[in-house]
Amino acid sequence: MPRHVVRLNFDFISSYSYLALTQAESFGERHRIDWQVRPVLYGAILDATGLVGPAEEASKRQYTARDIIRAADQLGVPLIGPPAHPFNPLMALRAVCLYQDHPHALQLAVKLADRCWGQGLPLTEHAVLEDALKATALDDVDLATRITAPTTKARLKANTAQALAAGVFGVPTFLWQGEIFWGHDRMSPLADRLEGRLDSPEPRAQAWVARPRDAERSSSPWPKS
C-alpha cells in the first residue's frame, strides 16, 4: 500500500502541538504516514491573520489550562508545562529547522516538546536544546551559532510563509494534498481521509463559504432597541 506524505506544522509554544507530537510517531506507523516536520512561528501566524492566541485573552487562558489537562489525562501523557507561558520558542524552533528533513526530525521535535510540556523545562536555555539533540543522536556542536545563522532563520520564516499560503491559521495543523486538519483532535478525521473512509468536503464547503453574509458584527453587537 502507498504511504502518505503529511506536513506537520507546529510551534512548541502550543500545548496542543505537544499533544499532537506525543501521538505522531505511533499514529504515523498505524496509518503509513511519512511526516514532513515543519516548525512554524505561531506568533507570526497570529499577526498575519489578526487572531489572538489562547494565552493572550483571560477567558481563553483559563479554559485552555483546564482543557489541556483533561486532554493530556485522556491520552495518558505527562503534563507539567513550561515555567513561563507564553515564552519565546524561536531557539527551539530553529533547532528543529536545522534537521527538519532528517529521519530523526520528528523524534527531536517530540523530545523538545516533552522537555517543555512533559518535564517543565525552559526551551529558552541552550542546555535543554543540546540535551534533546544528544538524546536524538544529533550533532549539538556549536548549536548557539547555527541556530542564529541567516539560513536557519530563513528556513523558519519560509516554513511559516508556506503555512500561511496554504491557509494555516493555528497549530498544530496537518496538511495533506492541500487539505487542512487543525488541532490534535483532528488526527482521527485525517486518518479517515487518508484511508478513504471520508470523502473530500469540497465542493460542499465552497458552496457554504460562498453564501452571502447577512450580518456583520459591529463595535457593539447589541441592538439599540
pLDDT reported for residue 86 = 95
We report the CATH number of the domain holding residue 62 as: 3.40.30.10
User: In this structure, is residue 221 part of a structural domain?
Assistant: no
User: In this structure, is residue 9 part of a structural domain?
Assistant: yes
Q: Which amino acid is at 203?
A: P
Of 22-26, 205-209, 210-214, 218-222, give the lowest mean pLDDT range: 218-222
What whole-number distance in Å separates Cα of residue 120 and Cα of residue 80? 5
Pairing of strands 33-39, 173-176: unpaired
User: In this structure, is residue 170 part of a structural domain?
Assistant: yes
Q: Residue length, the chain?
A: 225
The average pLDDT across 40-55 equals 96
- Residue 32 pLDDT exceeds 70: yes
Cα torsion through 107, 112, 115, 118, rounded to 10: -70
User: In this structure, is residue 223 part of a structural domain?
Assistant: no
176: part of which helix (H) or strand (E)?
strand 173-176
Number of domains composing the chain: 1
User: In this structure, is residue 63 part of a structural domain?
Assistant: yes
- Residue 15 pLDDT exceeds 90: yes
The dihedral through the CA atoms of 49, 161, 115, 16 has a sign that is positive
User: In this structure, is residue 216 part of a structural domain?
Assistant: no
pTM of the model: 0.95
Identify which of 74, 7, 8, 2 has the alpha carbon closest to the alpha carbon of residue 31.
2
What whole-number distance in Å separates Cα of residue 18 and Cα of residue 181? 16
pLDDT reported for residue 145 = 96
- 70-115 pLDDT, tens digit per residue, is 999 999 999 999 999 999 999 999 999 999 999 999 999 999 999 9
User: In this structure, is residue 217 part of a structural domain?
Assistant: no
Where in the sequence is the domain holding 129, given as residue range(s)?
4-209
CA angle, 216 as apex, 214 and 219 as ends, to 5°? Answer: 160
Please, which residues have CB within 8 angstroms of residue 14's CB and are 6 or more apart in sequence?
Answer: 42, 171, 172
